[in-house]
Amino acid sequence: MAAEIWKRFEDKTVLVTGAGTGFGSALALRAAQEGARVGVHYNRSREGAEATAQRIRDLGGEASVYQADISSWDAVRSMADQVDAEFGKLDVLINNVGDVATEQMSWRDITQELIDRVIDVDIKGTMYMLHEFGSRMLEHGGGAIVNVGSTVIVRGSPRAPQYAAGKYGILGLTKSYANAFAPTVRVNTFAPGFMETEATLAREDWNSGRREKLIAATPAGRIPPPADLAATALFLASDEAAHIYGAYMVADGGYSMLGG
């Protein structure tokens, strides 16, 4: 029997970045199932964003699609203007967009372009979104922001050190803006472990034994699809998490547990 879905976001507006594919799409769909009007953001995957929005409408929900390169503050500001014009105000922002440099298989393959690309999106882009949308939430009298981080900050990344640096930077942004915006706007980080997204399934290392090794090292014994973690991430934006500020919440099936 399917679990009951509570309407935690009824009459609220939720914007999810990078919602055309993977975890972002799952977050957008779950927010809609929980009663939200959903803003579906994309940069290049317009087809995916439109598909996500249509799935929401098929559920009887309301969805709007927005395009922006979040590494540009001007583009973020323009998107914020569009959201305000359409919805009046934003209640929840899910900063899901991140660049993991999926084509990079080793630290030996790193280039300046790959460093700049990841940092521009993961740190600068997240900061632009926090600053612009958070400031407007303050003006409107409330809101919640969830930054999607990663457990890579616990383990490091010999594959892509700049990715670990970018995700670690998000913790600094989360704590800084959680302090700056409190108590009016709550800011937290949700850190999922490995998920079987389209991008992960297409990775060369995933299909050459890494998946099996990770499952063996994960106490939960599985690598979940994105939909399994969407409700957990949205918890941080819900009224149920009203006393949580500046937190880093891990959901990785126990893979990153420390200690004995």
Q: Which residues are catalytic?
A: 163
Question: Rounded to whole angstroms, how far apart are CA atoms 90 and 18?
Answer: 17
CB-count exposure of residue 209 (10 Å: 0-12, 13-18, 19+): exposed
Instruction: Name 89's Cβ contacts closer than 8 Å, sequence gap at least 6.
Output: 13, 136, 137, 140, 143
Instruction: Look at residues 161, 67, 74, 159 and name the one whose alpha carbon lies nearest to residue 118.
Output: 161
In whole angstroms, how far apart are CA 133 and each of 50, 109, 171, 217? 23, 35, 18, 39
Question: Rounded to whole angstroms, how far apart are CA atoms 163 and 154?
Answer: 12
Beta bridge partners of 63: 38
CA 99 to chain centre: 11
Q: Which residue has the tokens 């009459």?
A: 11
Question: Rounded to whole angstroms, how far apart are CA atoms 41 and 125?
Answer: 13
* Helices marked H in the chain: 22-33, 46-58, 73-87, 112-119, 126-140, 152-155, 161-181, 198-201, 210-216, 227-235
Question: Rounded to whole angstroms, how far apart are CA atoms 193 and 222?
Answer: 11
